[in-house]
Amino acid sequence: MNLKGRSFLTLKDYSREEIEYLLDLAGKLKEKKKLGIIGDSLKGKNIALIFEKPSTRTRCAFTIGCIDEGGHAEYLGKDDIQLGHKESIEDTARVLGRMFDGIQFRGFSHENVEKLAQYSGVPVWNGLTDSYHPTQILADFLTLKEQFGKLEGLKLVYAGDGRNNVANSLLIGCSKIGINITVLSPKSLWPEEELIDICRGYADLSGSKIELTDNIDGVVGADVIYTDVWCSMGEEDLAAERIALLKPYQVNKEMLAYTGNPKTIVLHCLPAVKGNEITHDVFESFSKVIFDQAENRMHTIKAIMVATLGNE
């Protein structure tokens, strides 16, 4: 499958077959990494890493993934370049596109990453925007394949803020790949109706089921309970309001018991605020799979770069 030159902005742009290809490639690259085998697919490639928002997993995953394949990664923080301040996004894109072979963007406005892709002329990868977090979902899916040996037919319940970037991207990815997804959230924090309609179209093709509910009954039969912080970056002033609103959706022992499934696993994209969206004891009970999930950011991001920019 040839994905050369493609940007990776949202899973909307990728077919089920393309997502599965990236997951298979990530699995192969992970196996090589465990054996100490490095590649040269990105040899001679220079990659710009633009960060408006700080990061642990995204920055490390892109940097190590690039180096492992023989490339050079250059970190560009919000104080290092004039993105959207003294220089327009469009002009910055055209400059960086002349100097770099690929660009990663992690920031606020999704429109900015779209402009970078439109004007730079090189592959652009979305490391996170306020709207979407597609690289995270590939890591989630690789983790689920490792845990269950399959994706299609699993039931994933996302508990918490149902309209944040992770929830949006899970909705897209699950509906495309055939995972049944339940968004368990207060109605005021459900995904936008337009996105739900789009994903119902994907679900019709894949056989996935989409459910939105504010009732804890939604967790019954879950294979996976997934949660994320209740306040995304830039929303810290809403913390008290969110805690009060989302407390009933905390992932705790009671919620796990309510699934009726003793094999339910818990995922968290990190960083976690233990005591808010997840209790300390449940987090630690599932810490191994949660940190497998974190490690898989590196392998799936490497696969994205190799597939869209690599020499092979």
Catalytic pick among 66, 199, 231, 269? 269
Catalytic annotation present for 136: yes
The torsion of the CA quartet 199, 261, 141, 160, rounded to 10 degrees, works out to 60
Catalytic pick among 140, 228, 250, 293? 228
DSSP letter at 211 equals: E
- Rounded to whole angstroms, how far apart are CA atoms 225 and 252? 10
Residue spans of the domains in the chain: they are 11-133+297-309, 136-293
Catalytic annotation present for 163: no
Q: Euclidean distance between the first and final Cα of the chain, in Å?
A: 12
Closest CA to 84 of 52, 53, 132, 56: 52
Catalytic annotation present for 297: yes
DSSP letter at 189 equals: G
DSSP 215-253: SGGGGTT-SEEEE--SS-TT-GGGHHHHHHHHGGG-B-H
Binding residues for carbamoyl phosphate, by number, are: 55-58, 82, 106, 133-136, 269-270, 297
- Per-residue pLDDT of the chain (312 residues), as tens digits, is 999 999 999 999 999 999 999 999 999 999 999 999 989 999 999 999 999 999 999 999 999 999 999 999 999 998 888 776 788 999 999 999 999 999 999 999 999 999 999 999 999 999 999 999 999 999 999 999 999 999 999 999 999 999 999 999 999 999 999 999 999 999 999 999 999 999 999 999 999 999 999 999 999 999 999 999 998 766 777 788 899 999 999 999 999 999 999 999 999 999 999 999 999 999 999 999 999 999 999 999 999 999 999 996
Catalytic pick among 104, 136, 250, 293? 136
The domains spanning 11-133+297-309 and 136-293 adopt the same CATH topology? yes
| Cβ–Cβ < 8 Å for 140, 162 | no
Q: Does the structural domain 136-293 have CATH classification 3.40.50.1370? A: yes
Catalytic pick among 16, 59, 106, 110? 106
| Cβ–Cβ < 8 Å for 135, 269 | no
Give the residues across from 278 on adjacent strands: 251, 274
pLDDT at 84: 67
- Predicted TM-score of the model (pTM): 0.97
Element spanning 294, H or E: helix 287-309
Binding residues for L-ornithine, by number, are: 165, 228, 232-233
Q: Does the structural domain 11-133+297-309 have CATH classification 1.50.10.20? A: no
Catalytic annotation present for 106: yes
Helices (H), 69-164: 89-99, 110-120, 134-148
